């Protein structure tokens, strides 16, 4: 196991290095006018040049990448090499946003709570709903319960998130006035307002994701319910609840957990549409504003953090696999 | 379209368009001076509702909420703030300046200069080349230290650090008597590098509480210029570019917290070091100000209309087109709504170097359906048809140009005149048949582009719309290589003098000459008007230049913009402060 | 982030029956024909595609035009609001008109359908081609090539692709234009298609790779290798024909996902440019008005959902027909 772990960790580091390089190469395609963008009305070529140097854009992509990596471990200053009124970005430095006058880490840190709450709430909701409906559909295979569950799931699967979000917003908040307009607060500050704000985003994300888990759970259940040991368990006279809960569901759980872990990781990187529609101060809405009002350091930072979550989640899922099933270790 | 705060879609973030959002100190009794029909109603209703709110009377205490679609205030740095609304809000709360404008709904009073930190509005000597201001006693920073002359001088010096303090007004750079280096930049590089510090110390001197500015030319309206970018900053509190997030306050409030983006807030609480005896301008009524960022604009409208809960004490900064009929057809909202001129003239600049023939430019201006453009922007609520660069609410400098009433040889209806345009094209002979319109993309601007295509087609011109990401718009159109023949834009004066309109828009080194108009005689006339000391003569000169610019069709003036917004049921007074076309923040309080 | 905009991608690989050669299609078609829901959806789908292809003709027959401004249908005194209820619905404009311009909603919807289907179809074809080729190479070569491709796929799948698409749209569209594609919508649509394919292929490649790994071990492949057949022959003559089923299933489920993605991207301002339109653009425009005129939101939204649902149902039916054992996933 430990050998496998070491191999996987090395692979993780390699992936992170490759990923950060890919991000740098991709974003180096962006117009070099970033220096011009942070320049005002009295914009002269000299000021643009000074900005380029301050932002480190005068260097080659490779050098910029090196400065960036160094910044993560040792911090960096703007301009490089310090000087009067140089900005200090302490390690781990993911860059500094001159648009928002804050370090990228600080900006992401401020928005992480809303994103985490959104992801966790939605995760619990869609896992529970998805698995319960999936089991139900499998047990009633071919009957009306199965058909209606699968029909609703297909609809949920097909709804574009922004349309669903807008429709929910329109009816629940604007037409029926069941909830106030979303205004995010920390749950520790004002739990009531927090729940009123988060309820709809949770439901919207849950509808979008639950559909997938309904389908997955159902097909897993159908597969395991057909296995011999289930028939044996039934033949032994075990109650149906035990057969389904203890044997069938557990056996089919692994792919569900895998998918769940990866989805959770993806959501931690911010749900762009849902956060935007419901005005939540999360990573996703930060990303959109960094695109509209071009803010390169923030984009790079968010891309890396998000990809980092996914890669780590992949590793955790694989390790869990290996812990459960020794054959995986050998195969890898 | 232009450098104006645009309210766009739900996720397409609005706010900063380039970094060229300008302050605008339009004002003056323009409504009465004719030319722009149907303008009077807004100002009148604004004044009436002010009276209505006054009856209930704003009181001390409570919290006022500002609901904003923007993700943040562009900056809190006194040297960088350049947006009218921000100047009004931050000026009323945390940032005092040497002079400011009277707090009044009246167009003349509301643009009258009054002292703030200074004891008067400044003394000019040396033929307008030397200006002095004396600071009042007892003005303190939020940590209790006094605001000194040195703090003001230090603040001004920061403008010279153009690599760190970028994007703000540059009047200090332009006017202070500091020699330029060979490349055209100032020999003084700002307080951080300290290069050329002696030059600055000679141009700006302190004698006790009196600060003296030595200028490189006579500047008759320098006391207006000090409202922009001349705020005080204390050297030991300066954090460079970072100062934009947490400046030290010298006003009646200080920053408690500031988070940008969706769900972000700026919370201001009372500053106990502020002495009302030094400040007759700020009422400082509410205990707290809360600026809520990143809200969906439709949601803001709905909340303002409902005005329930804390929204009773809320202010919005605009209304979406869809909400206008609801709010303005219902008398129930009369005391809570504003319909007034905003500071901006909207226009489409024509690159005079790409289309040098005057008649060709006139043909384009004659062909366009200005009425359809205005309808897309919100019809009568979007503004009045513009007849030049100078807007009526600037005051004495405005006179109707008659652009659409015969200046071009025959009257032109708002819907455009394709036949007349064809005639002009035939007379000119060498007009381009295919032209491109650059514009900052938004849903409304896309629709406007469709009107352009349609109107030009009727006159036999093929128009290609070229939408540009709003954040990159001005970066592209100011690059002659990348820009095309037509460019959408908007401009508001920095203070009530056309010296902040005609020179920037029609001279190449003015800073905003999208038309790339560069004519020797013209430049000389502009210079003469700029330095004319007699205000009445100066006004006539501006009026003539404005008419000439319209006739030459350097730009196609489309609209004198108007602005609508709403207050909650228990906040007032409700009127548009003519100085910045903003809420009268310094006078506002909760009324319930 | 990717998962936020479309339903989560398929993660488990389809397992096609080990049916020999030609007969599989006849068997599958027989099964498909008996699936009533599938047949109805296929009918609806064909109808929608025909409507999209003949949109200009239909608009002409109905007397509507997606680009023509109609100042008579809007009230200039009321900020450009359409005259009459339901967004100004009338005989002349059956589904109403746009706020401020009076352009016909029905005509714009039909033209929007065209663009959405065009982008999704071409992107699906491209994705499928790339995914199949790389999947085969990866699975057949095994070893170092396989593991490099594997890491590359991991890398691509780890990217927050919606964010990347948004961030790079301006720069890459400009590049595409500079490569000779006409400026404007041609470049933008090319960008959409390319970027969707670049981020979409790994899903299929994984499925194909898994199939190829097991096919390689089978006797008919081994005998082909033993008889000295060249690699291309083995890949395309022996292995590829056995992959059509999972590829087809994947493609029919990718297409609706791309329709949704295209709508999201247009909604966020990266899609087609006006005066052209698409579902996403119409929905983005509705945001400002839908509290007053809900039909702006519900008309394009409903058509979009119908389109995606029917595609998904047909996809499910195709899968059931090709592989009844796999169950619905």
Which tens digit of pLDDT belongs to each residue from A174-191?
788 888 878 788 888 889
Distance CA C10, CA C233 (A): 30
C15: confidence class by pLDDT, cuts 50, 70, 90: very low
Return the CATH superfamily for domain C38-58+90-321. Answer: MetI-like (1.10.3720.10)
Q: Which two tokens stand for residue A323?
A: 């812990």
Q: Do C3 and A209 touch (CB under 8 A)?
A: yes
Tell me the pLDDT of chain B averaged across its residues.
86
Would you say residue A222 lies in a domain? yes
A80 and A171 within one domain: no
- Residue A242 CA to residue A236 CA, distance in Å, equals 12
Q: Is residue B15 part of a domain?
A: no
Residues B552 and B568 in one domain: no
Domain annotation covers residue A132: yes
Q: Which of B375, B380, B441 shows the shortest C-beta gap to C100?
A: B375
Question: CB distance B298–C290 less than 8 Å?
Answer: yes
- Claim to verify: residue B315 and residue B201 sit in the same structural domain: no
Task: Say if residue A156 is in the same domain as residue A124.
Answer: yes
Give the pLDDT score at B27: 32
- Domain range for B502: 341-562
Length of chain A in terms of residues written: 332
Q: What CA dihedral angle connects B54, B58, B64 and B69, to 10 degrees?
A: 10
Mean predicted confidence (pLDDT) in A241-253: 74
Domain boundary among B244, B266, B281: B244
Residue B35 confidence (pLDDT): 33
**Site of tokens 């085969």:** C136
- Residue B583 counted as domain residue: yes
- The three-state (H, E, C) secondary structure of chain C, written as one string: CHHHCCCCCCCCCCCCCCCCCCHHHHHHHHHHHHCHHHHHHHHHHHHHHHHHHCHHHHHHHHCCCCCCCCHHHEEHHHCCEECCHHHHCCCCCCCCECCCCCCEHHHHHHHHHHHHHHHHHHHHHHHHHHHHHHHHHHHHHCHHHHHHHHHHHHHHHHCCHHHHHHHHHHHHHHHHHHCCCCCCHHHHHHHHHHHHHHHHHHHHHHHHHHHHHHHHCCHHHHHHHHCCCCHHHHHHHHHHHHCHHHHHHHHHHHHHHHHHHHHHHHHCCCCCCCCCCCHHHHHHHHCCCCCCCCHHHHHHHHHHHHHHHHHHHHHHHHHHHHCHHHCCC
CATH number at residue A144: 1.10.3720.10
**Are B123 and B263 in the same domain?**
no
Does residue A10 lie within any of the structural domains?
Answer: no
| Nearest in space to B473 (alpha carbons), one of B508, B446, B439 | B439
Reported as type and span, the H/E element at residue B65 is: strand B63-67
Q: How confident is the model at residue B347 (pLDDT cuts 50, 70, 90)?
A: very high
Please report, rounded to a whole number, the percentage of residues in chain B having pLDDT higher than 90: 61
- Which residues of chain A make contact with C166, given a CB cutoff of 8 A? 287-288, 291
Domain count within chain A: 2
pLDDT classification of B8: cutoffs 50, 70, 90:
very low
DSSP type of residue B452: H
B454 and B557 housed in the same domain = yes
Higher pLDDT, B126 or A5: B126
Chains that touch A (3 or more CB pairs under 8 A): B, C
Cβ pair C292:B324 closer than 8 A: no
Question: In 3D, which of B41, B17, B18, B46 has the Cα closest to residue B31?
Answer: B41
Collapsed DSSP state (helix, strand, coil) of residue B146: strand
Q: Is B469 on the interface with C (CB under 8 A)?
A: yes
d(CA C83, CA B580): 35
Cβ–Cβ gap C11/A259 under 8 Å: yes
* Dist CA A230 CA C129 (whole Å): 41
Find out whether A279 and C155 touch, Cβ atoms under 8 Å. no
| pLDDT tens digits for range B108-124 | 888 899 999 999 999 99
Same domain membership, residue B444 and residue B406:
yes
* Residues 6+ away with beta carbon under 8 Å from B479: none
pLDDT band at A48 (very low <50, low <70, confident <90, very high): low
Is residue B18 assigned to a domain? Answer: no
A53 shares a domain with A153: no
Q: Are A114 and A44 part of one and the same domain?
A: no
Joined together, the tokens standing for residue B280 give 């007759």
Of A87, A275, A293, nearest to B242 by CB-CB distance is A87
Residue A1 lies in a domain: no
Closest CA relative to residue B367, chosen from B490, B451, B466: B451
- C-beta separation of A302 from A286 below 8 A: yes
Q: Name the domain boundary from A66, A93, A120.
A: A93
In a domain, B6, yes or no: no
Q: Which chain C positions have a beta carbon within 8 Å of A273's beta carbon?
A: 4-5, 264
Per residue, the 3-state secondary structure of B489-509, as one string, reads EEECCCCCCHHHCHHHHHCHH
- Is B13 a domain residue? no
Specify whether A51 is located in the same domain as A152: no
Is some CB atom of chain C closer than 8 A to the CB atom of B10?
Answer: yes
Mutate to test the interface with A, among B17, B168, B257, B261 (most CBs of A within 10 A): B261
Residue ending a domain, among B244, B274, B294, is B244
**Is there a contact between B139 and B147 (Cβ–Cβ < 8 Å)?**
yes
pLDDT at C23: 67
Cis peptide before B54 (omega within 30 of 0): no
Quote the CA–CA distance of B81 and B243 in Å, as a whole number: 12
Distance CA B388, CA B554 (A): 10
Confidence of residue B321 (pLDDT cuts 50, 70, 90): confident
The CATH number that applies at residue B172 is 3.40.190.10
Q: What is the DSSP letter of A146?
A: H
Give yes or no: residues A324 and A176 share one domain.
yes
Q: Among A253-262, B174-183, B550-559, where is mean pLDDT lowest? A: A253-262
Q: Report whether pLDDT(A84) > 70.
A: no
User: Can you give the pLDDT at residue B9?
Assistant: 27
C64 touches chain A (CB under 8 A): no
**Is the pLDDT reported for residue C158 higher than 50?**
yes
Question: Nearest-CA distance from C301 to chain A in Å?
Answer: 6
* pLDDT above 60 for B523: yes
**Cβ <8 Å between B12 and A280:** no
- CB-based contact C268 A288, cutoff 8 Å: yes
Is B417 in the same domain as B449? yes
Verify that B28 and B56 share a domain, yes or no: yes
Residues B282 and B237 both lie in one domain: no
The share of chain A scoring above pLDDT 90, in percent, equals: 11
Give dist(CA B511, CA A139) in Å, integer.
Answer: 73
DSSP B135: B
CA A215 from chain center: how many Å? 21
Is C274's CB within 8 Å of B464's CB? Answer: no
Q: Which of residues 357-386 of B touch C (CB under 8 A)?
A: 371-372, 374-382
Instruction: Establish, for the pair of chains A and B, how many residue pairs have beta carbons separated by less than 8 Å.
Output: 141
Are the CB atoms for B186 and B229 separated by under 8 Å?
no
Q: How far apart are CA A279 and CA C185, in angstroms?
A: 30
Residue ending a domain, choose from B244, B277, B308 = B244
Chain mean position to CA C231: 33
Between B72 and C274, where is the model more confident?
B72
Looking at A93, A123, A138, the residue that finishes a domain is A93
Which of A93, A116, A139 is the last residue before a domain boundary?
A93
pLDDT the model gives residue B475: 75
Overall average pLDDT of the B422-432 stretch: 92
User: For residues B253 and B289, is the Cβ–Cβ distance under 8 A?
Assistant: yes
Tell me the shortest Cα–Cα distance from C166 to chain A, in angstroms. 7
Residues B239 and B261 in one domain: no
Q: Are residues B304 and B361 in the same domain?
A: no
Task: Give the span between the Cα atoms of B474 and B4, in whole angstroms.
Answer: 11
> B350 and B361 in contact (C-beta within 8 Å)?
yes
Determine the longest span between alpha carbons in chain B, in angstroms: 72
Residue A12 lies in a domain: no
Q: Are residues B93 and B33 in the same domain?
A: no
What integer pLDDT is reported at residue B572 of this predicted model?
83
Interface residues from chain C to B (CB-CB < 8 Å): 67, 69, 71, 74-81, 98-101, 103, 170, 184, 267-269, 273-275, 284-285, 287-293
Residue length of chain C: 329
> Rounded to whole angstroms, how far apart are CA atoms A310 and C134?
23
Bigger pLDDT: A3 or B49?
Answer: A3
Residue B205: both structure tokens together = 């001197």
**DSSP conformational letter for A245:** I
Report yes or no: B254 and B142 within 8 Å, Cβ to Cβ: yes
DSSP H or E run through A76: strand A76-78
Q: Are B165 and A41 in contact (CB under 8 A)?
A: no
Judge whether A7 lies within some domain: no
Domain count, chain B: 3
> Which positions in chain B touch A273 (Cβ < 8 Å)?
11
Q: Give, in order, the Cα–Cα distances in Å from A64 to each of A294, B226, C9.
A: 18, 41, 35
Give me the mean pLDDT over the B533-538 stretch: 88
Position B375 in a domain: yes
User: Which candidate from A33, A183, A184 shows the least CB-CB separation from B472?
Assistant: A33
Range 119-178 of A in CB contact (< 8 A) with C: 150, 154-163, 166-167, 170, 174
Q: Is A75 helix (H, G, I), strand (E, B) or coil?
A: coil
Closest Cα of chain C to A191: distance in Å? Answer: 26
Q: Is A232 on the interface with B (CB under 8 A)?
A: no
Q: Assess whether pLDDT exceeds 90 at residue C313.
A: no
CB contact at 8 A, A275 and A118: yes
Whether B167 and B91 map to the same domain: the answer is yes
Q: Are B75 and B81 in contact (CB under 8 A)?
A: yes
CA distance A27 to C57: 43
Express each pLDDT in C133-152 by its tens digit. 999 888 888 788 888 898 88
Between residues 200 and 229 of chain A, which touch chain C (CB distance below 8 Å)? 205, 208-209, 211-212, 215-216, 218-219, 222-223
Least CB–CB distance from C5: residue in A219, A262, A273: A273
Give the tokens for residue B80.
Answer: 């960088």
Contacts of B167 in chain A (CB under 8 A): 38-41
Structural domain that includes position A52: 32-93
Facing residue for C264 by CB, picked from A160, A222, A290 = A160
Cis peptide before C275 (omega within 30 of 0): yes
CB contact under 8 A, B183 and A286: no
Residue pair B165/B80 in contact by the 8 Å Cβ criterion: yes
Q: Among residues 244-303 of chain C, which lie with CB inside 8 Å of chain A?
A: 256, 260, 263-264, 267-269, 283, 286-287, 290-291, 294, 297-298, 301
- Selected residue with higher pLDDT from A319 and B448: B448
Whether the predicted pLDDT of A321 surpasses 90: no
- A307 in the same domain as A220: yes
Candidate from B10, B302, B324 with C-beta closest to C79: B324
What residues in B contact A281, CB-CB < 8 Å? 259, 261-264, 294
Residue C191, both tokens = 């960008």
How far apart are the C-alpha atoms of B89 and B93, rounded to whole Å? 6
CATH of the domain at B458: 3.10.105.10
CB contact under 8 A, C291 and B298: yes
Write down which chains contact chain C via at least 3 CB pairs under 8 A: A, B
β-partners of residue B270 are B253
Average model confidence (pLDDT) across chain A: 81
**Dihedral sign (CA B320, B325, B327, B328):** positive
Residues from chain A that touch B168, judged by Cβ atoms under 8 A, are 40
């Amino acid at each position: 196991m430990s050998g496998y772990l070491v191999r996987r960790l090395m692979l993780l580091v390699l992936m992170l290095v490759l990923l950060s390089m890919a991000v740098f190469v991709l974003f180096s395609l962006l117009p070099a006018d970033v220096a011009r963008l942070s320049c005002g009305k009295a914009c002269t070529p000299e000021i643009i040049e000074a900005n380029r140097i301050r932002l480190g854009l005068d260097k080659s992509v490779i050098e910029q990448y090196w400065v960036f990596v160094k910044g993560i471990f040792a911090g960096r200053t703007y301009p490089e090499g310090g000087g009067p009124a140089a900005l200090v970005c302490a390690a781990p430095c993911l860059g500094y946003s001159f648009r928002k006058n804050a370090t990228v880490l600080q900006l992401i840190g401020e928005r992480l709570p809303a994103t985490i709450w959104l992801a966790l709430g939605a995760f619990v909701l869609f896992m529970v709903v998805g698995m319960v409906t999936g089991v139900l559909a499998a047990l009633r295979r071919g009957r009306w319960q199965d058909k209606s569950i699968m029909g609703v799931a297909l609809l949920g699967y097909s709804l574009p998130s922004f349309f669903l979000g807008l429709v929910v917003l329109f009816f629940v908040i604007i037409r029926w006035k069941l909830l106030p307009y979303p205004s995010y607060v920390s749950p520790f500050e004002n739990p009531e307002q927090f729940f009123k704000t988060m309820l709809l985003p949770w439901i919207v994300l849950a509808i979008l994701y639950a559909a997938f888990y309904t389908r997955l759970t159902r097909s897993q259940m159908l597969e395991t319910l057909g296995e011999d040991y289930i028939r044996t368990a039934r033949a032994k006279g075990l109650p149906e609840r035990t057969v389904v809960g203890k044997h069938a569901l557990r056996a089919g759980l692994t792919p569900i957990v895998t998918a769940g872990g990866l989805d959770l990781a993806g959501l931690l990187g911010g749900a762009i549409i849902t956060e935007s529609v419901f005005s939540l101060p999360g990573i996703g809405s930060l990303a959109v504003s960094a695109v509209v009002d071009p803010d390169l350091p923030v984009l790079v930072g968010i891309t890396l953090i998000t990809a980092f979550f996914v890669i780590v989640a992949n590793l955790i899922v694989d390790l869990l696999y290996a812990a459960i099933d020794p054959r995986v270790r050998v195969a890898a | 379209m232009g450098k104006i705060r645009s309210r766009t879609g739900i996720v397409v973030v609005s706010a900063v368009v380039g970094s060229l959002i300008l302050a605008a100190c339009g004002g003056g009794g323009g409504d009465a001076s004719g030319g722009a029909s149907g303008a009077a109603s807004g100002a009148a209703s604004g004044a009436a509702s002010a009276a209505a709110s006054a009856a209930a009377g704003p009181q001390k205490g409570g919290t006022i909420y500002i609901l904003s679609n923007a993700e943040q205030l562009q900056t809190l740095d006194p040297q960088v703030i350049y947006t009218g609304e921000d100047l009004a809000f931050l000026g009323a709360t945390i940032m005092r300046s040497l002079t400011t404008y009277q707090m009044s709904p009246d167009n003349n009073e509301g643009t009258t200069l009054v002292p703030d930190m200074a004891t008067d509005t400044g003394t000019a000597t040396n033929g307008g080349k030397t200006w002095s201001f004396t600071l009042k006693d007892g003005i303190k920073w939020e940590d209790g230290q006094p605001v000194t002359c040195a703090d003001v001088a230090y603040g001004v010096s920061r403008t010279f650090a153009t690599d760190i303090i970028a994007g703000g007004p540059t009047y200090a750079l332009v006017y202070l008597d500091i020699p330029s280096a060979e490349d055209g930049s100032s020999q003084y590089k700002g307080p951080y590098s300290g290069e050329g510090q002696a030059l600055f110390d000679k141009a700006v001197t302190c004698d006790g509480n009196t600060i003296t500015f030595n200028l490189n030319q006579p500047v008759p309206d320098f006391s207006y210029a000090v409202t922009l970018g001349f705020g005080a900053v204390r050297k030991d509190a300066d954090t460079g570019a970072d100062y934009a997030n947490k400046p030290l306050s010298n006003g009646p409030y200080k920053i408690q917290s500031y988070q940008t983006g969706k769900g972000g807030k700026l919370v201001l609480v009372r500053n106990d070091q502020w002495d009302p005896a030094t400040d007759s301008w700020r009422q400082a009524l509410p205990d707290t100000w809360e600026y809520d960022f990143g809200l969906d604009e439709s949601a803001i409208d709905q909340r303002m209309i409902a005005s329930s809960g804390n929204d009773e004490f809320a202010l919005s900064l605009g209304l979406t087109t869809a909400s206008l009929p609801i709010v303005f057809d219902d008398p129930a909202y009369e005391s809570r709504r504003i319909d007034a001129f905003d500071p901006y003239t909207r226009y489409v600049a024509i690159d005079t170097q790409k289309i040098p023939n005057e008649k060709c430019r006139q043909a384009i201006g004659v062909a366009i359906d200005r009425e359809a453009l205005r309808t897309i922007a919100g019809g009568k609520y979007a503004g009045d048809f513009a007849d030049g660069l100078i807007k009526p609410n600037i005051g004495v400098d405005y006179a109707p140009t008659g652009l659409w009433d015969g200046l071009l040889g025959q009257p032109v209806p708002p819907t455009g005149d394709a036949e007349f345009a064809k005639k002009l094209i035939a007379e000119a002979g060498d007009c381009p048949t295919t032209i491109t319109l650059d514009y900052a993309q938004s849903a409304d601007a896309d629709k406007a582009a469709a009107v352009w295509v349609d109107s030009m087609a009727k006159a036999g011109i093929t128009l290609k719309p070229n939408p540009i990401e709003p954040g990159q718009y001005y970066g592209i159109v100011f690059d002659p290589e990348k820009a095309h023949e037509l460019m959408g834009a908007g401009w508001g004066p920095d203070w009530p003098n056309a010296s902040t309109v005609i020179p920037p828009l029609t001279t190449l080194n003015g800073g905003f000459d999208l038309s790339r108009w560069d004519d020797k005689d013209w430049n000389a006339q502009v210079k003469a008007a700029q330095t004319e000391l007699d205000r009445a003569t100066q006004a006539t000169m501006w009026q003539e230049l404005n008419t000439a610019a319209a006739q030459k069709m350097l730009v196609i003036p489309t609209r004198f913009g108007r602005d609508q917004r709403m207050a909650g049921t228990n906040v007032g007074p409700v009127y548009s402060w003519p100085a910045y076309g903003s809420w009268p923040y310094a006078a506002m309080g909760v009324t319930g | 982030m990717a998962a936020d905009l479309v339903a989560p991608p398929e993660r488990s690989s389809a397992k096609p029956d080990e049916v020999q050669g030609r007969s599989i299609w006849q068997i599958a078609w027989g099964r498909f024909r008996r699936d009533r829901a599938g047949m109805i959806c296929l009918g609806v789908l064909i109808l929608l595609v025909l409507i999209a292809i003949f949109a200009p003709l239909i608009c002409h027959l109905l007397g509507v035009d997606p680009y023509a401004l109609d100042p008579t249908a809007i009230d200039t005194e009321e900020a450009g609001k359409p005259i009459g209820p339901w967004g100004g619905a009338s005989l002349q404009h059956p589904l109403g008109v746009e706020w401020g311009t009076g352009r016909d909603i029905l005509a714009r919807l039909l033209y929007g359908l065209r663009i959405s289907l065009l982008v999704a179809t071409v992107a699906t074809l491209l994705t499928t081609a790339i995914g199949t080729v790389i999947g085969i190479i990866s699975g057949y070569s095994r070893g170092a090539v396989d593991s490099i491709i594997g890491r590359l796929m991991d890398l691509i799948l780890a990217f927050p692709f919606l964010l990347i698409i948004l961030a790079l749209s301006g720069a890459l569209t400009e590049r595409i234009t500079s490569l000779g594609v006409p400026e404007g919508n041609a470049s933008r649509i090319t960008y959409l298609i390319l970027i969707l394919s670049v981020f979409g292929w790994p899903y299929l490649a994984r499925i194909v790779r898994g199939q190829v790994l097991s096919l390689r071990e089978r006797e008919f492949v081994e005998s082909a290798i033993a008889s000295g057949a060249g690699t291309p022959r083995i890949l395309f003559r022996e292995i590829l024909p056995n992959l059509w089923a999972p590829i087809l299933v994947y493609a029919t489920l990718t297409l609706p996902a791309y329709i949704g993605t295209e709508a999201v991207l247009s909604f966020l301002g990266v899609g087609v440019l006006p005066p052209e339109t698409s579902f996403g653009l119409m929905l983005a425009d509705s945001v400002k008005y839908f509290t007053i005129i809900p039909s702006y939101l519900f008309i394009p939204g409903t058509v979009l959902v119908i389109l995606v649902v029917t595609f998904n149902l047909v996809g499910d039916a195709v899968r059931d027909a090709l592989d009844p054992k796999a169950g619905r996933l």
